[in-house]
Structures are given as C-alpha cells and as structure tokens.
Chains A and B, each alone.
Chain A
Amino acid sequence: SQKIEQNSEALNIQEGKTATLTCNYTNYSPAYLQWYRQDPGRGPVFLLLIRENEKEKRKERLKVTFDTTLKQSLFHITASQPADSATYLCALVTPGGSYIPTFGRGTSLIVHP
C-alpha cells in the first residue's frame, strides 16, 4: 500500500541549531514534492516545491532535498528560531492522481529559546 511517513514524535531543538525533518514514502512515484507549514487551527502554508529531477532546493533559511532512489525528502531549517515552531507537512504529487497533492501527517517542530 502507499504510505507517506513523517516522524509522529515532535522534534525539539535549541534556537540557532539546524532542524532536519524527514519525509519517507513507499509505493509512490512522485513527480513533485511540496513542503508546507501548519500552525495549530490554521490552514497549511506553502513553503517549497521540488521536482523529481532536482536534488536540492533552497529558499532563505530553508533547504529541501529529494532522493528518488531512497524515496526520501529532507527538510532543513538553518539558524532555527522559536517562531519556526509549527507542524511541517510534506505532500507528494503524482501524475496518476491528477497531480493533486497527497499529504503526510506532518512532524511537529519545537524550537526552544
């Protein structure tokens, strides 16, 4: 069966460190992978999109990698700040699904001052 796995345990880190979140998937062949941020009781906010033929994408303090061999994406936030505390969702986009994103359950990040 198809699965998108994100660590269900919260990631706790100290301010200033790099946070690394993982998204693993099985039985998918995504053409794109997206990362979103979601604050409690709010809608997700788009952060980055990476294509299957791209290894890495950067935006300010954010970096995403995409390894289609390992079937994994890593999401990094450098110089993390308490304001980065939120749940981060990955979403896979596959051609077979009319290119509609399918979301993972997300990982909660808590940045301690």
Chain B
Amino acid sequence: DTEVTQTPKHLVMGMTNKKSLKCEQHMGHRAMYWYKQKAKKPPELMFVYSYEKLSINESVPSRFSPECPNSSLLNLHLHALQPEDSALYLCASSQGMGGTTEAFFGQGTRLTVV
C-alpha cells in the first residue's frame, strides 16, 4: 500500500464553522506533512510531524491546528477560517523527515470558505 488517503475530497465551510481534515498512511512512514496550495502556485509547507511530534510550524495562523494521534494518522483542525484560506490542502508522508527520500502525497482536500 503506497497510498496517502485524505478525506474529505471537497469541503465547503462557513467562517464560523469548525471542521477537520484527515490523512492516513500505512507505509510505516515516520514523517507527515501538511501543505497548502493555491491555484497556479507551488505547495507551501504548513506543518511537519516527525515520530508523532510537531517538528516544524511555518508560522501558520492558530485557526489551523494540526494533530497526530498516531503514526498513521494526521489531522488538521480548522476553526474561524477566512475566505482567503480557500485552497487545496495536501497531506504527504516520507520515510524520514526531509527530502532525501521521496514524499508521497494524498489527492488533497479542496477547501472553500464562504
């Protein structure tokens, strides 16, 4: 199984809603990532977890709250988002932290904030 599964595929939420994005991998990877990608732009790193601990937070606003319940799961909790937060949210995993091995990406969650 070389898949990273993200749910939901699409999400529309209001600015006062609370929602969560989920990501799962069963490759035994110990590093997991959240990226945000706007149209025609590169993926931008948000968070990195290594061995279930938050290693990198790229100064992401607190309305985004990551969680790593175990080595296979990664969540991104969303609260009080703004319309400009609408984007494709990508989860990725790799064997170890960093780019010395390939990263496997999920299909993404297309988020629309209304």
A49 touches B102 (CB 8 A): yes
* List of B residues within 8 angstroms of A32 by Cβ: 99-100
Number of interface residues of A (CB under 8 A): 24
- The answer to the question of A25 belonging to the interface, with a C-beta cut-off of 8 Å to chain B, is no
* List of B residues within 8 angstroms of A98 by Cβ: 48, 55-56, 97-98
- The answer to the question of B74 belonging to the interface, with a C-beta cut-off of 8 Å to chain A, is no
* List of B residues within 8 angstroms of A41 by Cβ: 88, 107-108, 110
Number of interface residues of B (CB under 8 A): 28
Known interface pairs A98-B55, A105-B40, A105-B41; A93-B108 also in contact (CB < 8 Å) = no
A101 touches B97 (CB 8 A): no
Task: Please give me the residue from chain B that is nearest to A4 by CB atom.
Answer: B42
- Min distance, Cβ A8 to any Cβ of chain B, angstroms: 8
| 22 A-B interface contacts by CB (under 8 A) | A41-B108, A41-B110, A42-B108, A43-B4, A43-B106, A44-B103, A46-B102, A46-B104, A49-B102, A89-B42, A91-B99, A98-B97, A98-B98, A99-B100, A100-B48, A100-B97, A100-B98, A100-B99, A102-B42, A102-B45, A103-B44, A105-B41
* List of A residues within 8 angstroms of B55 by Cβ: 98
Extra inter-chain contacts (20) besides given A41-B107, A98-B48, CB under 8 Å: A31-B100, A32-B99, A34-B99, A34-B102, A41-B88, A42-B107, A42-B108, A43-B105, A43-B106, A43-B107, A49-B99, A98-B56, A99-B97, A99-B98, A99-B99, A100-B97, A103-B42, A104-B42, A105-B40, A106-B42
